[in-house]
């Protein structure tokens, strides 16, 4: 598959810039029943406010692009985190050759992937009818180019998507402005204002609406549900289009267009600028050696690791940031970020940001507390307003992880106050908005299984971890009241461990285990998983979990059994197979379900029990078997950079098992050499001598020339710059690094 893909790009390997290794088609061969990433070909700058994507699915369909599709019906401004949440602030442009065709189904035009190029900085497709579309991004806009077949009528159709919209056509200025108002988590009155300029004059124009596809030829202004516009150019035209948008005002959209695209005379200028941005970033995380396929996988994943969260701020005439708040609708000075579900991304995507984007991470922490002031709650799933999806209160993980790693741009007392409010209340939105079951959690030490409960075992485990983060931040910053409050709950994971079965299990209010336990059964007490997946969710106290399981030998045997037991599924409360189940079965690695977040850290836990070589083996095996750069390149939902960040960090040889501490666990790097060029100007080099697909085991190590036996490394050691040298071999070094100090952090001593 990769050979075919590389041939389709038309780029020889030796001529590639690093940005050309990244394929935005990775993970796009997905559908409702099976996710190979559930991604779309995102054309964007890092953390851009907007992205652009070809659209194969119908308006409103979360699967905006599916690799198996044979037609494209538009090119969308996109923000989508997940197909399950669909998108917001969407409008699309579509070139139409020949007769004017507005209906989204009828205007859909056939194409072949052989005529498609999909890089972070540039997307191009030549349709079967000879019409070509190209686009390159800025942070809040894009430049597109439509080349129509000779002597064929040339139209561009603006589709206003699924809710209220407005268009205004200015023929003399070759311009269309307007707004769209669509999305699941938006305030009343929310608007995405856009401005679109063309470099060719209009020969015809008009408005239309996409419910009945009625046309008003010559009309310049229209407002209503699904309202759009169309413009015609001379036959066979080659049209360049500049687009920008704003959540603040039409005037801000115009300003942004000048700021970001004013100096770009052609699409080539935008393309070159965007490629330079990605190359600069990729060269800061430079890998050497390895196969071409490994590099493609690495940089494709690094690309997706740098898309979410989206910037939700814009720059005024003085170049100062300001933003429309998605929480209260007011305008504020400063930075805001949205489009992230922390249940996914606290694990690896945000820890990766602390390494390569500490300035942005500092601004993000300020934005978290600003969001809490504006809506009364810390975000958990912002898209762009709060959705409250999944479980846990992981904003505290982000805040604590930033603080212990030296990113101290916020007031820790405010953060602790906000978290205590989060942990002792239930908000009006989903289960992760505030804390579902918080009273019972405090009174009983666990969330009981009751009617309407949403994964109470999962909730108990993640609340305990979050309370550890609250405790850790309070302890680090000298706030004994909060330290004592959260210290009481951070061992609550023990209250749902059943020594008779060796699993985390649900209890009723009286403390009795629920009957008819089946560790293969999904749902019920567990969110998107079963007992095999959730027993490992004690990030902060793996040694305590080892103690519950009866010692290191039992713990390792339990880890081993995850891979050796059958990959069978009991659908449980879900009633039928969901895509996460299908993906686990397809992976054929027993009950190891890497396609979803709860178990992704599990392979690193051998290191805590004195058998780090098993971590080294399994990490490399997971990367080899479950990831590649193809359209089927992920083992499940990519999830806002988390699954990609797992790969990036693991391929570097590091992983953040417990965000909120300053340690990364050492695994087994993919490449012989990786160089991190940090924001502070320092470089940290990870060199894996004799590394290969067979030589996955660390034989010995030095840090800055000194022997190094630890299986972890501190954040400060990386940020200070230096060199970690790992000698690799084909057999485990079973006697290396067996001291207690060589094992990573655990709360229990």
pLDDT digits (tens, 9 = 90+) for 324-375: 999 999 999 999 999 999 999 999 999 999 999 999 999 999 999 999 999 9
Taking residues 306-311, what's their average pLDDT?
98
Give the pLDDT score at 4.
37
Give the span between the Cα atoms of 640 and 380, in whole angstroms.
13
**Tens of pLDDT along 228-273?**
999 999 999 999 999 999 999 999 999 999 999 999 999 999 999 9
What's the N-to-C CA distance of the chain in angstroms? 49
Q: Please report the pLDDT score of residue 6 as a whole number.
A: 39
- CA Rg value for the chain: 26
pLDDT band at 79 (very low <50, low <70, confident <90, very high): very high
Residue 10, pLDDT above cutoff 90:
no
Rounded CA separation 231/221 (Å): 13
Looking at residue 1, its pLDDT comes to 39
353 closest CA partner among 17, 678, 713: 678
Token reading at 463: 């609340």
Digit-coded pLDDT (tens) for 85-131: 999 999 999 999 999 999 999 999 999 999 999 999 999 999 999 99
* Order of all β-strands in the sheet with 663-666: 654-655, 663-666, 712-714
Q: What percent of the chain has pLDDT over 70?
A: 98
CB-based burial label for 573 (10 Å; 0-12, 13-18, 19+):
exposed
pLDDT of residue 749: 81
CA distance 460 to 606: 24
Could you tell me the sign of the dihedral formed by the alpha carbons of 113, 116, 117, 118, in that order?
A: negative
Average pLDDT of 686-713? 98
Spell out the domains of the chain, with CATH numbers in brackets.
40-277 (2.70.98.10), 289-742 (1.20.1610.10)
The residue-averaged pLDDT of 176-180 equals: 98
DSSP state of 15: G
Query: What is the pLDDT at residue 5?
Result: 41
**Cβ neighbours, 10 Å, residue 89:** 24
Over residues 281-285, the mean pLDDT reads 98
- For 516-570, the pLDDT digits (tens) are 999 999 999 999 999 999 999 999 999 999 999 999 999 999 999 999 999 999 9
pLDDT digits (tens, 9 = 90+) for 628-681: 999 999 999 999 999 999 999 999 999 999 999 999 999 999 999 999 999 999
Mode of pairing for the β-strands spanning 722-729 and 683-689: parallel
Residue 399: pLDDT band with limits 50, 70, 90: very high
Q: What is the pLDDT of residue 236?
A: 97
| pLDDT 10s digits, 48-59 | 999 999 999 999
Packing angle of the helix pair 412-423, 480-487 (nearest 10 deg): 30
pLDDT at 224 over 50: yes
- Between residues 85 and 142, the one the model is more confident about: 142
Instruction: Return the closest-CA partner of residue 566 out of 501, 515, 613, 519.
Output: 519
What is the pLDDT confidence band of residue 16, given thresholds at 50, 70 and 90?
A: confident
- pLDDT at position 589: 98
Q: Which helix (H) or strand (E) holds 222?
A: strand 221-225
Half-sphere exposure of 551 (CA within 13 A, CB side): 1
For range 571-586, the mean pLDDT = 97
In the prediction, which pLDDT does 29 show?
98
pLDDT at 98: 94
CB 581 within 8 Å of CB 587 = no
Residue 403 pLDDT exceeds 50: yes
Please check the confidence at residue 3 and state whether its pLDDT lies above 50: no
Confidence of residue 7 (pLDDT cuts 50, 70, 90): very low
Q: Are 95 and 155 in contact (CB under 8 A)?
A: yes
pLDDT level of residue 474 (50, 70, 90 thresholds): very high
Bridge partners of 333, per DSSP, are 322
Q: What angle is formed at CA 598 by the lines to CA 82 and CA 518, rounded to 5 degrees?
A: 115
Average pLDDT, the chain: 96
The pLDDT value recorded for residue 693 is: 96
* Confidence check: pLDDT of 299 > 80: yes
Contact between 122 and 266 (Cβ < 8 Å): no
Query: From CA 732, how far away is CA 512, in angstroms rounded?
Result: 44
Q: Tell whether the model's pLDDT for residue 12 goes beyond 70.
A: no
Q: Quote the pTM value.
A: 0.96
Q: How far apart are CA 277 and CA 121, in angstroms?
A: 9
Using DSSP's 3-state secondary structure scheme, residue 388 falls into coil
């Amino acid at each position: 598959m990769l050979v075919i893909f590389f041939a389709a790009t038309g780029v020889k390997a030796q001529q590639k810039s690093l940005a050309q290794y990244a394929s935005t088609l990775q993970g796009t061969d997905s559908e409702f029943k099976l996710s190979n990433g559930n991604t779309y070909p995102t054309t964007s700058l890092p953390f851009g406010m907007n992205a652009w994507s070809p659209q194969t699915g119908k308006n409103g369909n979360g699967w905006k692009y599916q690799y198996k599709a044979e037609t494209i019906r538009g090119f969308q401004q996109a923000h989508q985190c997940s197909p399950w949440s669909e998108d917001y602030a969407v409008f699309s442009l579509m070139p139409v050759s020949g007769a004017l065709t507005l209906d989204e189904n009828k205007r859909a035009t056939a194409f072949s992937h052989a005529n498609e190029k999909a890089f972070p900085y540039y997307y191009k497709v030549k349709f079967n009818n000879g019409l070509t579309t190209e686009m390159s991004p800025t942070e809040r806009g894009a430049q597109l180019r439509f080349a129509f077949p000779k002597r064929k009528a040339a139209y561009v159709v603006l589709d206003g998507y699924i809710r209220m919209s407005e268009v205004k056509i200015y023929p003399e200025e070759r311009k269309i402005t307007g707004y769209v108002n669509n999305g699941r988590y938006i305030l009343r009155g929310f608007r995405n204002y856009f401005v679109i300029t063309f470099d060719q004059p209009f020969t015809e124009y008009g408005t239309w609406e996409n419910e009945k596809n009625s046309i008003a030829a010559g009309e310049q202004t229209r407002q209503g549900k699904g309202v759009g516009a169309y413009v015609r150019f001379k036959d066979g035209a080659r049209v360049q289009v500049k687009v920008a948008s704003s959540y603040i005002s039409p005037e801000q959209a115009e300003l942004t267009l000048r700021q970001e695209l004013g100096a770009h005379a052609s699409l080539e200028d935008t393309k070159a600028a965007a490629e330079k941005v990605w190359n600069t970033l990729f060269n800061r995380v430079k890998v050497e050696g390895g196969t071409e396929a490994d590099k493609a996988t690495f940089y494709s994943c690094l690309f997706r690791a740098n898309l979410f969260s989206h910037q939700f701020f814009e720059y005024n005439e003085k170049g100062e940031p300001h933003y429309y708040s998605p929480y209260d609708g007011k305008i504020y000075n400063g930075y805001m970020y949205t489009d992230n579900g922390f249940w996914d991304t606290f694990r690896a995507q945000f820890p990766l940001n602390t390494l390569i984007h500490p300035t942005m991470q500092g601004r993000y922490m300020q934005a978290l507390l600003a969001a809490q002031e504006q809506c009364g709650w810390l975000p958990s799933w912002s898209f762009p307003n709060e959705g409250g999806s999944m479980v846990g209160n992981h904003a505290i993980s982000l805040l604590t992880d930033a603080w212990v790693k030296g990113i101290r741009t916020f007031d820790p007392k405010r953060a602790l106050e906000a978290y205590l409010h989060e942990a002792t209340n239930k908000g009006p939105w989903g289960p992760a908005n505030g804390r579902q079951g918080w009273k019972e959690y405090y009174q009983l030490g666990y969330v009981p299984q009751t009617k309407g409960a949403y994964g109470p075992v999962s909730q108990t485990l993640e609340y305990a971890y979050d309370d550890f983060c609250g405790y850790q931040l309070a302890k680090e910053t000298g706030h004994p009241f909060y330290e004592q409050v959260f210290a009481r709950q951070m061992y609550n994971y023990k209250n749902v461990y059943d020594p008779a079965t060796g699993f985390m299990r649900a209890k009723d209010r009286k403390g009795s285990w629920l009957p008819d336990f089946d560790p293969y059964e999904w749902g019920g007490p567990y969110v998107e998983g079963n007992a095999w997946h959730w027993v490992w969710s004690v990030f902060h106290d793996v040694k305590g979990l080892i103690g519950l399981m009866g010692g290191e030998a039992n713990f390792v045997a339990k880890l081993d059994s995850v891979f050796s037991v059958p990959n069978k599924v009991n659908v449980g409360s879900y009633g039928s197979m969901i895509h996460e189940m299908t993906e686990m079965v397809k992976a054929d690695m027993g009950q190891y379900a890497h396609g979803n977040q709860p178990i992704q850290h599990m392979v690193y836990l051998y290191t805590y029990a004195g058998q780090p070589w098993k971590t080294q083996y399994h990490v490399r095996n997971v990367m080899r078997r479950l990831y590649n750069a193809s359209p089927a390149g992920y083992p499940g939902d990519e999830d806002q950079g988390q699954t990609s960040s797992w790969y990036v960090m693991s391929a570097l040889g590091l992983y953040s098992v417990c965000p909120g501490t300053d340690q990364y666990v050492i695994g087994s790097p993919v490449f012989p050499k990786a160089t991190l060029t940090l924001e502070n100007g320092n470089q940290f080099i990870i060199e894996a001598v004799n590394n290969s697909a067979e030589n996955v085991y660390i034989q010995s190590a030095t840090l800055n020339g000194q022997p190094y036996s630890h299986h972890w490394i501190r954040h400060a050691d990386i940020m200070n710059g230096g060199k970690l040298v790992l000698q690799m071999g084909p057999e485990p070094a079973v006697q290396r690094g067996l001291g207690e100090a060589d094992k990573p952090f655990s709360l229990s001593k």
